[in-house]
A and B are shown apart, each in its own frame.
Chain A
Amino acid sequence: MKPVDFRYSRPGTIPEAIELLNEGAGGAKIMAGGQSLGPMLNLRLAQPEQIVDITAIPALTMVTEERDAVVFGACITHAAFEDGRVPDPANGFLRRVAGGIAYRAVRNRGTIGGSLVHADPAADWITTLTALDAELIVATAQGERRVALEAFMMMAFGVHLDDGEFLAGIRIRKFSPAARFGYYKFCRKRGEFAEAMAAVVIDPALNIYRGVIGATQSRPLVLDDIRDLLRGGGESSAPNGAALARARDRVADLGIDDDPITDAMHGNAFARALEQVIA
């Protein structure tokens, strides 16, 4: 037994969870699958006074389809996405991303909401859902508030949540059938946290041409309009090599990490993600 002693509660509703958080006055920590929190508890990096387990709240494992979006409960596991047990508004992209997160035994418990709130810059969902411009539904004492993922993450391991709030759901818009998605990450070993990663989303019907560079030392870097980087690829039959090399060098020259090797990895990850959408 390694963690500090903490109290544990498993509320059945969102208002009860919020009440417990407010009673905890900053010493309470929300837990879903606990796959990021568990190691931190064992290392005693996290020393909460109380853990509020939100997995018994039915609303948090539900999927709601809206006309132009799908809302996922925060406690839905990576494995549920990987297995296609939930709808995929991004034409299979969520399924593909989920399958590459950590290991199957971790994916069976780790959740999409937990990963976003933990906000490790090298985690998969932070980067890919920023590329999809996901909207987060935060449960508050007053009800809920909505915030774009891009504005939710403040820095590494820092998100915009008050003591009495927690993440309840993630809303992802439905992309058009012609949308294309690219994602590439460099890991020392499959399942390890990435050293560099990039995601690209192209959906001409929705006028989205977005690139995101992740695994930085802080928030993902968003490139809102990458149309100029697509030239030389796309519909034309011209070889993509020149366009990819240009994209790679642009990103590598951003100086994201002040380290030429890591910067080159960011550049290559971006070029490889881009290659998937212009190939």
Chain B
Amino acid sequence: MNGLRLTVNGLPVAEHVEPRTSLADLLRENLNLTGTHLGCEQGVCGACTVFVDGVPVRSCISTAVSCSGADVRTIESFDADPLMGELREAFNKHHALQCGFCTPGMLVMARDIVERLGDADEERIRLELAGNLCRCTGYAGIVKAIRSVVLARQAAGTAPSLGAPQGLGPAGSGHGQVTEAKPRQAMTPPIPASSPKSAKLGKLAATAPSVKQSFVIEFPPETVWSRFGDVPAMVPCIPGASLVGRTDDGNFQVSMRVKMGPIGAQFAGTANQQRNDDMLTGVIHGSGRDERSGSLARGELSYALHEMNGGAATRVDLEVTYSLSGALGQFARGGIVTHFIAAITAQFADNLKRSLSPEEAPNATQQPRELRLAGSMATALKSWLGATIRKLFSR
């Protein structure tokens, strides 16, 4: 719990809230100011828009503690505000609301548009309102209402007000007391205590996204083949992966830590492999669950080895197929995950080569604490970008 002081509708407020409490929840749940509405809670619908330090802000995606020391004004405090009075009347006259859910946010934005822009025409009003959704009116009445107030104020010669001078940082942020850094105990690693359950290893749909990659390695096929068969030696070559143990049915327990922007996931799961000694091909199946996000990942890595240079080298053809479901699945726009997997594969190839070379083995694999997108990721992307740029200028 963090102590929080701020001004709401002109009155000082002191509350103890969890840091994860949004400004909207503070207003609605702690202060009972339910005129601020919550629609999407991801900053898209605009229903929760309130004034913070005199400018409109989304209260659903701003934490209350970050607005410590700020001056917050909600729809409840505008009864005596002349401009809001004009807007209310105009909304009434032009049928600018039906169910009223979006109205508090609409009025906050409308007041900002009139004050800040002064001479907004219909097109500008529509652009400025794009962040506030209304499912009843089709916006026509809202736009007309705002435009009528703009015209009335122009006729009356009311100049737009610049409002309070604003800083350059996020509205409402940075006023509160600063916290001092204190040493604290080391975190325990977030690996789940229970051993991961063996997930079903069904075949992936034929439409699952896949990434193909080939590389040549300066070792005879037999050496590479035996390394692929040695799962404990293979797993550390996969960036972010580590071997946890073995299950009774012969599957390997693995964990894989992935970091992508603000998203961190730790997949715990199982892997097994099937090999064809005659064809020098194999498939590694893996699946795992990230406990925190409840996301499920499944993947297959197929490999085929081909002799090169009369047995002195081996070409490895890899194909990675994967599927991601749950919370992370929503986020993973197709191509992004494909590039991500391509980068993992490139780093895997590097690590595999390194682990096989006698002078560097056995501890030579680059083993990042998590899959972090650096190093060979950049190489992979550079080659992709390089190829596309070359294509552009070769005509």
- The reply to whether A217 and B335 form a contact with Cβ atoms under 8 Å apart is yes
* 17 extra interface residue pairs, beta carbon distance < 8 Å, beyond A34-B63, A38-B58: A5-B20, A10-B68, A23-B181, A24-B187, A32-B173, A45-B262, A56-B174, A85-B166, A85-B168, A86-B168, A104-B56, A104-B128, A105-B58, A108-B55, A109-B58, A154-B377, A158-B377
Interface residues of B in 297-354 (CB under 8 A from A): 327-328, 330-331, 333-336, 338-340, 343
A47→B294 CA distance, assembly (Å): 12
A25 at the interface (CB under 8 A from B): yes
Which of B63, B68, B132, B293 lies at the interface centre, i.e. has the most chain A CB atoms within 10 A of its CB? B63
B18 at the interface (CB under 8 A from A): yes
- The reply to whether B170 and A33 form a contact with Cβ atoms under 8 Å apart is yes
- The reply to whether B168 and A80 form a contact with Cβ atoms under 8 Å apart is yes
Of all chain B residues, which has the CB nearest A47? B292
Q: How many Å from the CB of A216 to the closest CB on chain B?
A: 8
- The reply to whether B41 and A42 form a contact with Cβ atoms under 8 Å apart is yes
Question: What string of 1s and 0s marks CB contacts (under 8 Å) between A31-74 and chain B?
Answer: 11111111111111111110101011000111100000000010
Chain B binder among A88-96, A131-139, A177-185, A254-262: A254-262
Q: Which residues from A are CB-within-8-Å of B327?
A: 43-45
Which of A10, A44, A157 lies at the interface centre, i.e. has the most chain B CB atoms within 10 A of its CB? A10
- The reply to whether B22 and A61 form a contact with Cβ atoms under 8 Å apart is no
Q: Which residues from A are CB-within-8-Å of B388?
A: 221, 254-256
- The reply to whether A103 and B46 form a contact with Cβ atoms under 8 Å apart is yes
The answer to whether residues A104 and B131 also contact, given A2-B41, A47-B292, A118-B262 and a CB cut-off of 8 A, is yes
A43→B62 CA distance, assembly (Å): 14
Counted as pairs of residues, one from A and one from B, with CB atoms less than 8 Å apart, the total is 269
Q: Which residues from B are CB-within-8-Å of A3?
A: 20
Chain B binder among A11-19, A167-175, A198-206: A11-19
The answer to whether residues A254 and B392 also contact, given A55-B66, A155-B373, A157-B336 and a CB cut-off of 8 A, is yes
A231 at the interface (CB under 8 A from B): no
- The reply to whether A221 and B41 form a contact with Cβ atoms under 8 Å apart is no
Question: What string of 1s and 0s marks CB contacts (under 8 Å) between B250-273 and chain A?
Answer: 000000000111111000000000
The answer to whether residues A20 and B181 also contact, given A26-B370, A29-B262, A105-B131 and a CB cut-off of 8 A, is yes
- The reply to whether A217 and B373 form a contact with Cβ atoms under 8 Å apart is no
- The reply to whether B112 and A104 form a contact with Cβ atoms under 8 Å apart is yes
A174→B43 CA distance, assembly (Å): 34
B157 at the interface (CB under 8 A from A): no
Question: What string of 1s and 0s marks CB contacts (under 8 Å) between A201-244 and chain B?
Answer: 00000000000000011110111000000000000000000000
Q: Which residues from B are CB-within-8-Å of A38?
A: 22, 42-43, 58, 60-63
B206 at the interface (CB under 8 A from A): no
Q: Which residues from A are CB-within-8-Å of B42?
A: 38-39, 42-43
